[in-house]
């Protein structure tokens, strides 16, 4: 999956039939979608944008909607997002590229940072981002939308946050109902950072409300062994540029009861640290527990080491 950082937002799940497209306006707090009739990528021969047709529930949801779609070698999809919350949010939206028959040919992801309350931003997805090729893409839909408070958004690059720490979660591994996701922490500041123990976590549902009734167990082996998220919690000191990780381990077994899903996890390195909200998509089934591994220093990987001097 390809990831692109823009400035966008909320939830949308819809399929838009191929019609036409317009030139994307610059993103911004008051940005609106391009006027109907503008061609994709500024091509004079581009087809004018047309309003989407179909079930309104599929084309607009939670403040996000598709506003135009155009095919051909310069085809693109246009969308807009209106944030109705009370604080700025960063949105991550996954788009599926579909064939005529509805098969998913490819997908791409947009991260739109810092959407202010009550503001609307617009964006564009060029069809040539699809490995399937723009001429093979006949429909597009939003497969998933996630949003987090802008001041709790995870970070993997760019300016170092005021906390001096970058925190994010990876895509994880899954096998036979076992799930393992790693939370990564980097000291991007200028001073050493001390760790001892386990990250603090809070589970949130799709509406960003706390998820109750799940036991948080220290040591990933309380759920399954062999994940690396086990062993004693040892004191660590991360020098500037050094990294650490901690594992989240769970099973999605479903037996009696109601399955529990927690798309979001608020995590902080230790008591008193800043919270960061990640989206590891915890499908906890009816197990009622999540294992947390201790912080471990991430040693330099061989491929990351600079080449030896001759």
Question: For residue range 72-102, what is the model confidence (pLDDT) as tens digits?
Answer: 667 788 888 889 889 999 988 888 888 888 8
What residues are paired with 81 via a beta bridge? 64, 121
HEC assignment per residue over the chain: CEEEEECCCCECCCEEECEECCCCCCCCCCCCCCCCCCCHHHCCCCCCCCCCCCCHHHHEECEEEEEEEECCCCCEEEEEEECCCCCCEEEEEEEEEECCCCCEEEEEEEEEEEECCCCEEEEEEEHHHCCCCHHHCCEEEEEEEEEEEHHHCCCCCCCCCCCCEEEEECCCEEECCEEEEEEEEEECCCCCEEECCCCEEEEECCCCCECCCCEEEECHHHCCCCCCCCCCCCCEEECCCCEEEEEEEEECCCCCCCCEEECEEEEECCCCCCCEEECCCEEEECCCEEEECCCEEECCCHHHCCCCCC
Same domain, 147 and 182: no
27 within a domain of the structure (yes/no): yes
**Do residue 136 and residue 238 come from a single domain?**
no
Q: What is the pLDDT of residues 167-179, one digit of tens each?
A: 999 988 877 789 9
Low-confidence winner among 156-165, 284-293, 300-309 (lowest mean pLDDT): 300-309
Q: Parallel, antiparallel, or unpaired: how do β-strands 89-98 and 104-115 relate? A: antiparallel
Q: What is the pLDDT of residues 189-232, one digit of tens each?
A: 999 999 999 999 999 999 999 999 999 999 999 999 999 999 99
Better pLDDT: 66 or 224: 224
Structure token pair of residue 98: 């579909």
Question: How many domains does the chain fold into?
Answer: 2
Domain-located, residue 70: yes
**Residue keyed to tokens 């970070």:** 155
pLDDT tens-digit series, residues 95-154: 888 888 888 999 988 889 999 999 999 988 888 888 888 778 887 888 888 999 999 999
Residue 25 lies in a domain: yes
pTM: 0.81
Residue 156 lies in a domain: no
The two beta strands, 89-98 and 60-61, are unpaired
Residues 144 and 41 in one domain: yes
Show which of 127, 151, 175 is a domain's final residue. 151
Q: If you average pLDDT over residues 62-80, what whole number do you get? A: 78
Query: 124 and 210, same structural domain?
Result: no
Asked if residue 16 and residue 66 are part of one domain, the reply reads yes
Contact at 8 Å (CB) between 233 and 198?
A: yes
45 and 112 fall within a common domain? yes
Dihedral sign, CA of 172, 174, 11, 131? positive
Residues 132 and 171 in one domain: no
Residue where a domain stops, chosen among 93, 122, 151: 151
One domain for residues 6 and 136: yes
Per mean pLDDT, which range of 18-22, 100-104, 111-115, 158-162 is the poorest? 18-22
- Domain coverage including residue 195: 165-298
Residues 79 and 209 in one domain: no
* pLDDT for residue 263: 96
Residues 136 and 174 in one domain: no
Q: Is the pLDDT of residue 283 over 90?
A: yes
Kindly report the average pLDDT of the chain as a whole number. Answer: 80
Residue 113: predicted pLDDT? 92
List the structure tokens of 255.
């037996």
Provide the pLDDT for residue 72: 66
CA angle, corner 237, sides to 231 and 243, nearest 5?
75
- CATH number for the domain including 256? 2.60.40
Domain shared by 11 and 146, yes or no: yes
């Amino acid at each position: 999956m390809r990831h692109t950082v823009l400035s966008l937002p909320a939830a949308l799940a819809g399929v838009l039939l191929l019609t036409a497209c317009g030139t994307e306006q610059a993103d911004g707090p008051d940005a609106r979608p391009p006027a109907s009739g503008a061609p994709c990528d500024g091509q004079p021969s581009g087809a004018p944008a047309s309003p989407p047709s179909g079930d309104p529930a599929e084309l607009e949801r939670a403040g996000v909607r598709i506003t135009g779609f155009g095919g051909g070698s310069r085809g693109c999809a246009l969308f807009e997002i209106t944030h109705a919350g009370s604080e700025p949010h960063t949105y991550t939206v996954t788009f599926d590229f579909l064939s005529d028959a509805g098969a998913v040919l490819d997908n791409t992801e947009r991260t739109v940072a810092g959407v202010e309350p009550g503001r609307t931003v617009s964006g564009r997805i060029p069809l040539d981002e699809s490995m399937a090729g723009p001429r093979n893409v006949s429909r597009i839909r939003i497969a998933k939308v996630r949003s987090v408070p802008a001041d709790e958004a995870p970070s993997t690059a760019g300016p170092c946050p005021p906390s001096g720490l970058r925190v994010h979660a990876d895509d994880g591994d899954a096998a036979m109902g076992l799930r393992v996701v790693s939370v990564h922490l980097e000291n991007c500041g200028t001073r050493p950072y001390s760790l001892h123990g386990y990250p603090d976590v809070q589970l949130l549902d799709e509406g960003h409300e706390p998820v109750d009734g799940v036991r948080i167990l220290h040591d990933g082996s309380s759920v399954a062994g062999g994940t690396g998220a086990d062993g004693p919690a040892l004191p660590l000191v991360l020098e500037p540029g050094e990294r650490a990780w901690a594992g989240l381990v769970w099973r999605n077994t479903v037996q009696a009861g109601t399955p529990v899903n927690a798309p979001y996890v608020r995590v902080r390195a230790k008591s008193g640290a800043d919270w960061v909200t990640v989206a590891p998509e915890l499908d906890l089934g009816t197990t009622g527990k999540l294992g947390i591994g201790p912080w471990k220093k991430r040693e330099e990987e061989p491929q990351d080491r600079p080449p030896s001097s001759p």
